[in-house]
């Protein structure tokens, strides 16, 4: 529809035709049906196979430099480990189809239940959402763990990958692999930095000293030379952190109106699902027997 109005040109009034604003702009619905829509055909179909657990694993990118720049304690910085766990909990609270997450050092793995339909099971959507939520949470909660004494000098980044596991055995073996890696790395780092910090060796000398040593050899070095029993080290360092959903009873006080119109404070208990952290063995069967709701039936 066109509209007319009087316009002044050179001192004379003339009749002008004015188009409505709707005609001047292309709507999104028109864009969707434009001749350019064909470019969508270049998108790759990355839908994850059905009935598989979807694991999104994040790793800190160039974290060796990051830990040096931010003066992380060696071999382990409890502030950094706490921040990693808090960021992972933020991811789980945002994406409730994640049934379990496991983390150690600068990595965290998130397991989506095998029947999940989040983001239509598109791998790129799942991975980017997990990575962005984790990274932003890491920055957001930084001061909560590092305080004002150690400011965040530059943004951290995390790379990610998506892997599918078709059976409960495959998934349990994956998590066992990551926990075994945690033990191997932590034992090495504990001995390495003890040799440097307490033994007076340079990093090159400590590395040379540990070449070819087995776990028993490393334990012997710690105990015989520094009186350190590795078995008494905190579980979070040896076992990593496992996050799962658990129901917890919470009691809150509410003001309720009684039949006589009088108000009274009453304690109300509700059961809520919360993300809980465990620092325990996931390689054996005990953990899985105690939490049977994590895994789904292999016949689903």
A 10 A CB-CB count for 210 gives 15
What is the average pLDDT value for the chain, to the nearest integer? 89
What pLDDT does 207 receive?
96
Two structure tokens written together for 125: 């959507």
Interval 3-8 mean pLDDT: 50
Give per-residue pLDDT as tens, 43-69. Answer: 889 999 999 999 999 999 999 999 999
DSSP states of 142-211 as a string? HHHHHTTTS---S---EEEEEEEE-SHHHHHHHHHHHHHHHHHHHHHHHHHHHHHHTT---HHHHHHHTT
Give how far Cα 261 sits from Cα of 7, 148, 253, 254, 255, Å.
69, 51, 18, 15, 12
Q: Is residue 77 a known part of a binding site?
A: no
Q: Is residue 62 a known part of a binding site?
A: yes
User: Is 25's pLDDT higher than 50?
Assistant: no
Q: Is residue 63 a known part of a binding site?
A: yes
CA nearest 243: which of 82, 46, 71? 82
Rounded to an integer, what distance in angstroms lies between the CA atom of residue 134 and that of residue 77? 19
CA nearest 154: which of 225, 217, 62, 218? 62
Q: What pTM does this model have?
A: 0.82
Interval 174-197 mean pLDDT: 97
Q: Is residue 129 a known part of a binding site?
A: no
Q: Is residue 278 a known part of a binding site?
A: no
DSSP states of 205-273 as a string? HHHHHTTT--HHHHHHHHHHHH---GGGS-HHHHH-EEEEEEEEEEEEEEEEE-TTS-EEEEEEEEEEE
User: Is 203's pLDDT higher than 80?
Assistant: yes
Rounded to an integer, what distance in angstroms lies between the CA atom of residue 131 and that of residue 125? 10
Taking the C-alpha atoms of 224, 228, 230 and 236 in order, what is their torsion angle to the nearest 10 degrees? -160
Give per-residue pLDDT as tens, 131-148. Answer: 999 999 999 999 999 999
């Amino acid at each position: 529809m066109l509209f007319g109005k009087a316009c002044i040109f050179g001192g004379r009034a003339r009749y002008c035709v004015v188009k409505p604003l709707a005609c001047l702009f292309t709507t999104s619905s028109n864009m969707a049906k434009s001749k350019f829509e064909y470019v969508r055909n270049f998108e790759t179909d990355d839908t994850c196979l059905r009935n598989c657990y979807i694991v999104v694993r994040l790793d800190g990118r160039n974290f060796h430099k990051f830990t040096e720049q931010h003066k992380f304690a060696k071999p382990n910085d409890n502030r950094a480990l706490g921040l990693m766990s808090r960021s992972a909990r933020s991811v789980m609270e945002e994406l409730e189809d994640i049934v379990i997450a496991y983390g150690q050092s600068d990595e965290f793995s998130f397991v989506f239940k095998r029947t999940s339909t989040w983001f239509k099971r598109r791998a790129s959507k799942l991975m980017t959402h997990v990575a962005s939520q984790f990274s932003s949470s890491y920055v957001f909660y930084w001061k909560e763990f590092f305080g004002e004494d150690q400011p965040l000098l530059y943004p951290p980044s995390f790379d990610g990958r998506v892997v599918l596991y078709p059976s409960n055995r495959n998934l349990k073996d994956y998590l066992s692999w990551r926990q075994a890696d945690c033990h191997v790395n932590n034992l090495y780092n504990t001995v390495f930095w003890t040799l440097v910090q307490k033994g007076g060796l340079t990093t090159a000398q400590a590395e040379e000293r540990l070449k070819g040593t087995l776990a028993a050899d490393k334990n012997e070095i710690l105990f015989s030379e520094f009186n350190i029993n590795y078995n008494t080290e905190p579980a979070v360092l040896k076992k990593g952190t496992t996050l799962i959903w658990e129901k917890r009873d919470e009691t809150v006080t509410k003001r309720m109106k009684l039949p006589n119109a009088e108000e009274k404070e009453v304690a109300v208990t509700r059961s809520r699902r919360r993300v809980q952290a465990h620092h325990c063995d996931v390689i054996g069967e005990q953990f899985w027997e105690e939490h049977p709701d994590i895994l789904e039936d292999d016949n689903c």
